[in-house]
Amino acid sequence: MIKTSAIGPLKHPPFRVVWTAALLVQLAIWMQNSGAAWMMTELSSSRLMVSLVQTAMALPCFLLGLPSGVFADLFDKKRLLIMTQVGSFSVCILLLLFAAFDYLTAWPLLLLTFALGSFNALSMAAWLSSTIQLAPAGQLSAAFALSSISPNIGRVIGPALAGICIAFFGVTMLFSIVSLCFILVLLLLTKLKPVKKEGLLPPERLWTGMMNGLQYMRHSQQQRMALHYVFLFDLTGCVLWALLPLIAKEQLKLDANGYGLLLGCLGVGAIISATQLPNLLNRVPIRKLLVLSSLLYAAVMMIIPFIHNTTAVCCLLVVAGACWVGVNTSAGTVIQSTAAAWVRARVASIQLLVIMGAMALGAIIWGLVADNLSLSYTFIIAGVCLIIGVVIAGNHPLNLGSEADFSSVKTPNFQPVMLEIAMDDGPVAVEIDYRVSESEKEGFLEIARNVGTIRRRNGALKWRVYRDLSQPDHYTERFIVTSWAEYLRQRERATQADKVGALKLKLFQYSPEGDIQRFVAVL
């Protein structure tokens, strides 16, 4: 049972509306994806074509994920979500018509799945960042967990519902239900109020926004480690999702009813994990939780292809569903809890890009392996690769971030400039002078390097500390940003954690009461 604090954000109406809508979207997407995968087994005898259904859904997230994060950070999320859901609804109507009139063949099915995946990719970061943005004050950590759990619930429950629907009513009814889901989503979105963007600066350009998002994660150790883990786990673990239709049809000799049963067991595991994970994150070190879940998932993968008893396979799939949600949600919570508000959607999009890219690549790899080897060899190879990945990535420490550390802070006014400068003028070099005695040098340099990481993470292109050869106690910190507007944005991006390091460094300044000594700009 979840503690009240774990579901606290759901008591807040705006959060509940967007979280419910996001969950409906995930259910619809994965219902369609699983229905398409099962249908492909009827339309083509190629194992590769079956696995390409997953690739068609995941590849757009890899191609469009990062731009979608920039759009979500810079523009009105409600409008972006409505536009993408209208597009998804249109694709589902086309699928419904093709299926109803028996015109659906293998390649049109893949193309329409790719189109649906594209609209999904353009909205995923907006969904995740919207749920976090609408969380009540003081409940961000619970919102992180809930927003990470909902996509994983949809990923597991959606296929189960699809299997049941196909078994009893057929594919046409499945696509009708998926279309209805998007209608409900659009109705829910009309209840949301647009959220005004804070700050008076002009929005970043698309390319600059993407580079800033990548740079932020590059200079955040916790996020890098979590991303490495997600990639290794999903690249190997996706074999179960990509080839489960073949496990059902060839190994267990099941029909659509049986396939739905297998997916339902994954769903049961997902629900168990989703309801217990917020409490587990408070009790178990997150690194330990990731390692144990991954090793258990690998064991299940290597056992399943040797079992021909449906009941036993179902029990193992319950465990697999719990582990899948546990790993992806735990890593996602680390990533989101260590991100500042200004870049949160981009961070979410990079995480989703890695997940979908790993699943798209993994589906191709394991589909090709299965076409040339048996299913049992394919699952064993994937399991061994996952264990190796855990050994490589599992030694790095991972910790959840503090809500207080990543809250925005107001930065002091800087020294005024005497020349007129436009927002796009630049690049701009910022120089700050310090006086450091020989005995303080090592401590100063350590603090300066930490601040340098923060400056690069917040948008600086280059950062260095220089020592004056004629005055050994004189040091100059110099960092460069692309434009005057980008420097002003960097000041807006400061968090409480950033401020702590900056205050330590400020003690060494020539003029501690001042913030910046010099600006040098290319005009």
- Residue boundaries of the structural domains of the chain: 4-194+204-393, 428-521
User: How far is 345 from 66, CA to CA, in rounded Å?
Assistant: 9
244-248, 262-266, 314-318, 400-404 — which one is most confidently predicted on average? 314-318
Q: Answer yes or no: is pLDDT of 515 > 80.
A: no
Same topology, domains 4-194+204-393 and 428-521? Answer is no
Residue 73 has pLDDT above 70, yes or no: yes
| Model confidence at 288: pLDDT above 50 | yes
Provide, for the chain, the percentages of residues in helix, strand and coil under a 3-state DSSP scheme, each rounded to the nearest 5.
Answer: 70, 5, 20
Q: State which fold the 428-521 domain adopts.
A: Alpha-Beta Plaits (3.30.70)
Beta bridge mates, 495: 408
Looking at 139-238, list the stretches that DSSP marks H as alpha helix, in order from N- to C-terminal side.
140-168, 171-189, 206-218, 221-237
Q: What percent of the chain has pLDDT over 70?
A: 89
Mark residue 139 as left, alpha or beta (left: phi above 0; alpha: psi -120 to 50; beta: remaining). alpha
pLDDT at position 163: 78
Distance CA(37)–CA(58), nearest Å, equals 13
**Cis bond before residue 427 (omega within 30° of 0):** yes
The overall longest dimension of the chain from CA atoms, in Å, is 84
Q: How confident is the model at residue 3 (pLDDT cuts 50, 70, 90)?
A: very low
Provide the pLDDT for residue 355: 83
> Would you state the pLDDT for residue 145?
65
- Do β-strands 518-521 and 428-435 pair in parallel, antiparallel, or remain unpaired? antiparallel
C-alpha 188/C-alpha 277 separation (Å) is 27
Q: What is the mean pLDDT of the chain?
A: 83
Lowest mean pLDDT across 172-181, 444-453, 508-517:
508-517
Q: What angle do CA 229, 153, 173 make, to 5 degrees?
A: 130
Torsion over CA: 248, 357, 128, 190 (sign): negative
The reported pLDDT for the residue numbered 156 is 67
Helix then strand count (H, E) for the chain reads 17, 4
* CB-based burial label for 116 (10 Å; 0-12, 13-18, 19+): buried
Which residues does 62 contact at the CB level (< 8 Å), separation at least 6?
A: 353, 356, 357, 360
Structure tokens at 348: 């979410």
Given a cut of 70, whether residue 143 has pLDDT beyond it is yes
Residue 202 DSSP class:
P
pLDDT in tens, 365-418: 998 999 888 889 999 999 999 999 888 876 777 777 665 566 676 666 566 676
> Comparing C-alpha atoms, which of 181, 40, 63, 183 is closest to residue 117?
63
- CATH annotation of 4-194+204-393: 1.20.1250.20
Mean pLDDT of the region 474-488: 88
Separation between Cα atoms, residue 322 and residue 301, nearest integer Å = 13
Query: What is the pLDDT at residue 8?
Result: 74
pLDDT of amino acid 234: 93
- Worst-scoring range by mean pLDDT, 189-203, 336-350, 437-451? 189-203
Using alpha carbons only, how large is the chain's radius of gyration in Å? 25
Mean pLDDT in residue range 333-359? 83
β-sheet bridge partners, residue 475: 434, 467
DSSP secondary structure, 84-102, as one string: HHHHHHHHHHHHHHHHHTT
Q: Between residues 397 and 325, which one has the greater pLDDT?
A: 325
- 120 vs 257, more confident: 120
Output the pTM of the full model: 0.77
Position 84 pLDDT exceeds 90: yes
